[in-house]
Structure 1
Amino acid sequence: MNSPPPPSPWGLSLSLRVVLTLLLAWAAARLCVWLHTPIPWMIGPLVASALASVIGAPTASWNPLRNGGQWVIGTALGLYFTPTVGALVMGLWWAIALGIAWALALGLGFGAWLRRVHARQLDHLSPAELRSTTYFAGAIGGASEMTLIAERHGARTDLVAAAHSLRVLLVTLTIPFGMQAWGVSGIDLAPPGAREVLPGGFALLTALTLAGILVMRRLGRANPWFMGALLVTMGLTLSGVTLSAIPPGLSAAAQLVIGVSLGVRFTPAFVHTAPRWLASVAFASVFMMIVCAGFAWLLSLVSGLHPATLILGTSLGGIAEMAITAKVLQLGVPMVTAFQVCRLVAVLVLAEPVYRAWVRTMKKPG
């Protein structure tokens, strides 16, 4: 998923393609601000770059910009974890555990359904390849991480990556507009621990989070630019240390580049890859959003959390996209972040063991 974009048939250099894509994304973001859409600095760039990519325009995303966007968002989210909020999150560990179990069960069911529906269409695959392809396409984890794991098990990685990309796109476009139509916002129990941008504190925060990112990269952890910045900032904020807030313009720019990085995946080749497979993923994604909303509502009854917070926390979207939605709409940022981060870690750790256990169960006689 992080491979460099292919050469442009338009004869444009990568740098020019990136600049043109960013200009398009900025114009789309400004239009969405004017239209009062939810999370305009991510929705506008995402939709504009996706539409342009689908029709074959020479769009491009530069990985260092996306990494920088994740760095900013991870840092901004960590500022919400004040000691009071941290105690609240820890007190609801059981709800987070239920969210993890729900995600694993949902992903397993989704993969089994894909296998049943597409067994004939994918009859050129061996039984092992079919199992791994459908299982890892259904797992509710990060697109890059699930694709890499799937590759180790001989899966069709293009189908796995396509399933995750389409699912995240649909969730990212649907849920924010659903929240806006619902009219829910501003339910955070507390604002970020730091509210003022202090140049010296911001410089120190930048250095410390960069160190955390480098450590995570050294350890080979998933999403190091997001998780490294998040964990360092969480540690500081939970300790009562408030160095600086994040400049609003920098936060908007981070949302923009994350939106672009998702939108440029939808090339003409993507659209023409197994249309029936994509249609199945789209149908299942909508169905799972509905059942996830029902699960969130039931969990809200026993946890006391707002249903909107739990819908974001248990949704099928990417961690950065759902956390950005929670941050912009002020819908329980710490809880949403905790649910999404814990689920990401759990799925990364458990996806392969669950797959192996599932395969052993299927191979048992009778």
Structure 2
Amino acid sequence: MPLSLAYASRVAFTLAAALAAALLCLQLDTPLPWMLGPLLGTALLSMLGAPTDSAAPLRNAGQWTLGAILGLYFTPEVTALVAGLWWAVALAIGWALLLGWAFGAWLHRMHAPLMPDVPAPAMRATTYFAGAIGAASEMALLAERQHARTDLVAASHSLRLVIVTVSIPFALQWSGLHGVDLLAPPPRMVQPEGLALLAALTGAGALLMLRLGRANPWFIGPLLVTMALTMASVTLTAIPQPLVNAAQLVIGVSLGVRFRRAFLRTAPRWLASVAVGTVGLMLVCALFAWVLARATGLHWVTLVLATSPGGIAEMSITAKVLQLGVPVVTAFQVCRLVVVLLVVAPMYRWVYGAAEAPS
């Protein structure tokens, strides 16, 4: 069978299984069925050795759709509210950098003695970038420049992201803490001409971010374009719900396929430490969110999502589905990602006095 046909077959099988998992979760009334169903179903199949695969263009289209959706929340009134929280955003960024360093230091203390075959500088870089609260691909790339164990770094971020993405929505649904967003909802009327124009404009934004080499270009580009339009009181259209569901599905698949059989054989003690550490991160982030809620007057649950060690798309879509302050969550998560990507490597060299390793 030609490679392209085999790949297409794997993708088709995975999407069919993901759709079945989403429909099952709908029947079971689980939170975020269109994302968590595909994520968990695909992860289970992948770990059992099934021929699963994720198509990068579909994942990009999913991020594109979600970026456009979330930008519709940034009305002038909402933008003024978020802008007035700049000091809270700055505190959350500093908190994330400190927490990532502490997580990395804990991983180093736990695992450096267990991996004597890994050179000390490489081990230090491995644990540091594995602990940083940033995007998995970018952290793995930075770790590679320091000749670190990129497999451990990637495994750490994948496991952390899935634990956060799965546990927080379930916890919120069981607690009944949802629907507390008092901000105005985005437009609900779908306009075909407006949808086509919005797709063209946000697509151009994604391609620009891609050309500039920015992180998450298919999410950030559409988000910034739609934010700019909405802040200028330009409303082109709402996003059809089937597109929203499809976007969640392909993002869930892209997370689930990371969990191959080989993933489970990747230093089981390392994965166990990451799992325990991630639970600890969520608990201290929840405490930090409570303190920040007292200072800002925002709902605690909104700030839990805003400061959690999860990904932008996953936490923002959780906020959207559960009606928990989408603009605040998105603004906090986007600002954190940008600053972490800019600061985490210089911070490593400053803290540990390490020069960037030659390529």
**Normalised TM-score (structure 2):** 0.97
Secondary structure of the equivalent of 2:116? coil
The ranges of structure 1 where at least 4 consecutive aligned residues each deviate by more than 6 angstroms after the TM superposition are: none
Residue of structure 2 in register with 1:74 after alignment: 67
Distance 1:205 1:250 in 2: 14
Residue of structure 2 in register with 1:168 after alignment: 161
How far has the Cα of 1:12 moved from its partner? 7.4
Distance 2:115 2:343 in 1: 26
Matches within 5 A, 1:146-295: 146-295=139-288
Residue of structure 2 in register with 1:364 after alignment: none
Residue of structure 1 in register with 2:328 after alignment: 335
Number of equivalences: 354
How far has the Cα of 1:133 moved from its partner? 0.3
Does structure 2 retain, via aligned residues, the 8 Å contact 1:309–1:335? yes
Residue of structure 1 in register with 2:357 after alignment: none
Distance 1:168 1:47 in 2: 13
CA shift digits 1:279-336 (9 cap, x unpaired): 0000000111111111101110111010100000000111111011001001000000
Out of 18, 26, 37, the residue aligned to residue 33 of structure 1 is: 26
How far has the Cα of 1:184 moved from its partner? 1.3
Q: Which amino acid aligns with 1:153?
A: Q
How far has the Cα of 1:360 moved from its partner? 2.0
Does structure 2 retain, via aligned residues, the 8 Å contact 1:144–1:161? yes
How far has the Cα of 1:136 moved from its partner? 0.1
How far has the Cα of 1:195 moved from its partner? 1.9
Secondary structure of the equivalent of 1:240? coil
Secondary structure of the equivalent of 1:178? helix
Out of 297, 307, 320, the residue aligned to residue 304 of structure 1 is: 297
Residue of structure 1 in register with 2:343 after alignment: 350
Out of 301, 309, 321, the residue aligned to residue 316 of structure 1 is: 309
Unaligned runs of 5+ in 1: 1-6, 362-366
Distance 1:42 1:191 in 2: 24
Distance 1:204 1:270 in 2: 42
How far has the Cα of 1:188 moved from its partner? 2.0
Q: Which amino acid aligns with 1:126?
A: P
Residue of structure 1 in register with 2:96 after alignment: 103
CA shift digits 1:39-60 (9 cap, x unpaired): 1000000000000001111011
Residue of structure 2 in register with 1:62 after alignment: 55
Does structure 2 retain, via aligned residues, the 8 Å contact 1:193–1:237? no
Distance 1:189 1:100 in 2: 25
Residue of structure 2 in register with 1:142 after alignment: 135
Q: Which amino acid aligns with 2:63?
A: Q
**Normalised TM-score (structure 1):** 0.95
How far has the Cα of 1:194 moved from its partner? 2.3
Does structure 2 retain, via aligned residues, the 8 Å contact 1:314–1:340? yes
